[in-house]
Structure 1
């Protein structure tokens, strides 16, 4: 019995991330998320969450995605501090800033792309969801509705991906005001893909980092 407890402790310690692990993991995950956003932007589709809201506003106004992204994320930070603590909040703030910077760098280096909207919606959301999963596993997030979804999962047992999906579908519906019905449909498909991947892969107790 004693040996089992020691083995479990060693397993848990072996899974803990070092500071270097977190720096590399959060940076790489933020980069993936930004590439996903760039693909969605190139296909002129939206997605859910603050990223989708920022894309939606950037299509309807002269403001860039990066500016709207930062401004829209700020109101959720006090909630993150209150419910998740300073460690999680600061990590999330770093991720938010990195996504803003990486999105600009990606656009500068790859230039404007004309890609199929369905490709941009599906592939962009697949890449972005992998980035968000990476952030979750390094005790971070992209803030915004990610925080709401994580709190709902931890406090009420609701799957974060499903909670996010409900929020995201409401945001995607807002695309009717700036895009064609087909673009809205592609955006909804992309949002579903994003949250389906999150729901399957992010479960309480599945990963300890």
Structure 2
């Protein structure tokens, strides 16, 4: 019996080591993807947006504006602006949430400064807006799929939602981007440039959805796990989304189960998948598309279809 117990223990230890190796490989792969995405983002900023004075929303737009006012490199401003924002995010959401975001911010800032000397690839503001916005969307899609964020207004919006839960996330993003684009019109003394910057915001928003999930409206998750409470706790805290428990039982084992049902908007889906993987790698998860959702945070049940 002792030998059997020892043998089982060794098998468990081997499973733990194998799982740790898989986790390490996955982490290294994620950081490699984030590095590639950071280079792509830096190309968008240094080759297309910054040289043509296109200041899209977010920290990048603020950094481009401050670069014109002070002369300090755009990448440096991107990192400096993010430092207090990341500190707030770490205080509110914990270091695990911020670690990959901090790396992404540092890498993006570094590559942006290194590539700035190349200058504009095109002087046509329309081409710069289309290509720059498209590259940003590809970069952000890769970052989200790697379980990270770019920091900046993402964290600010999450903090505002904690303080003012009645405000909609999409409205907050739209408001912050509109303020930054409007400010660029005054700084650069050029309305056309500001309108092209607004085009960058639009292209980035539309293409990011397509890069991440095609044209699906949202994602619906059915999660069957031995740790449903921990998963839901993190959904509430980190993603600011709710969930519903559905009672069920295993057909083979007869064991009672809590099935977690939740619907998330597309940009949040990669983070939700990462939370499930971290809390219960063996969870049985079904992900399906949800084209129409009515209720709080989505469309009104009384709204008319167009």
TM-score (norm 1): 0.79
Contact 1:165 1:195 in 2 (8 A): no
**Which has the higher relative contact order, 1 or 2, with Cα contacts under 8 A spaced 6 or more apart?**
1
Give, in whole Å, the separation in 2 of the partners of 1:21 and 1:53: 31
Which residue matches 1:208? 273
Gapped runs of 5+ residues in structure 2? 1-18, 213-265, 275-306
Residue-by-residue CA offset, 1:16-59 (whole Å, 9 max, x unaligned) = 87022112111011111111112101222111100000011112
Query: How has the CA–CA distance of structure 1 residues 160 and 21 changed in structure 2, closer, same or farther, with 3 Å as cutoff?
Result: farther
CA contact (8 A) 1:25 1:138 kept: yes
Matched, 1:116 2:180: no
**Is contact 1:27-1:95 (8 Å) kept?**
yes
Distance 1:131 1:154 in 2: 27
Residues 120-164 of structure 1 show CA distances to partners (whole Å, capped at 9, x for unaligned) of 122112111221222122222221102234567899698866642
Aligned to 1:35: 43
What is the match of residue 82 of structure 2?
73
Secondary structure of 1:192's aligned partner: helix
Deviates more, 1:35-44 or 1:78-87: 78-87
User: Contact 1:126–1:193 at 8 Å: present in 2 too?
Assistant: yes
- The answer to whether the 8 A contact 2:105-2:150 is kept is yes
Structure with greater helix percent: 1
- Alignment of 1:88 onto 2:153: no
2:204 corresponds to which residue? 194
Q: TM-score, normalised by structure 2?
A: 0.56
Instruction: Determine if the alignment matches structure 1 residue 128 to structure 2 residue 136.
Output: yes
Residue matched to 1:6: none
Equivalent residue, structure 2, for 1:8: none
Larger Rg: 2
Matched position secondary structure for 2:94: helix
Superposition pairs for residues 170-189 of structure 1, below 5 Å?
Answer: 170-179=179-188, 180-189=190-199
Q: What is the 5 A alignment of 1:148-159?
A: 148-149=156-157
**1:50-61 paired onto structure 2 within 5 Å:** 50-61=59-70
Partner of 1:46: 55
How far off is 1:89 after superposition? 0.8
- The answer to which of 160-169 and 150-159 deviates more is 150-159
Partner of 1:142 in structure 2?
150
Contact 1:137 1:208 in 2 (8 A): no
Alpha-carbon spacing, 1:19–1:146, altered in 2? closer, same or farther (3 Å): same
CA, structure 1 residues 83+197, in 2 after alignment: closer, same or farther (shift >3 Å)? Answer: farther
When residues 96 and 194 of structure 1 are mapped into structure 2, their CA distance, relative to the original with a 3 A threshold, is: same
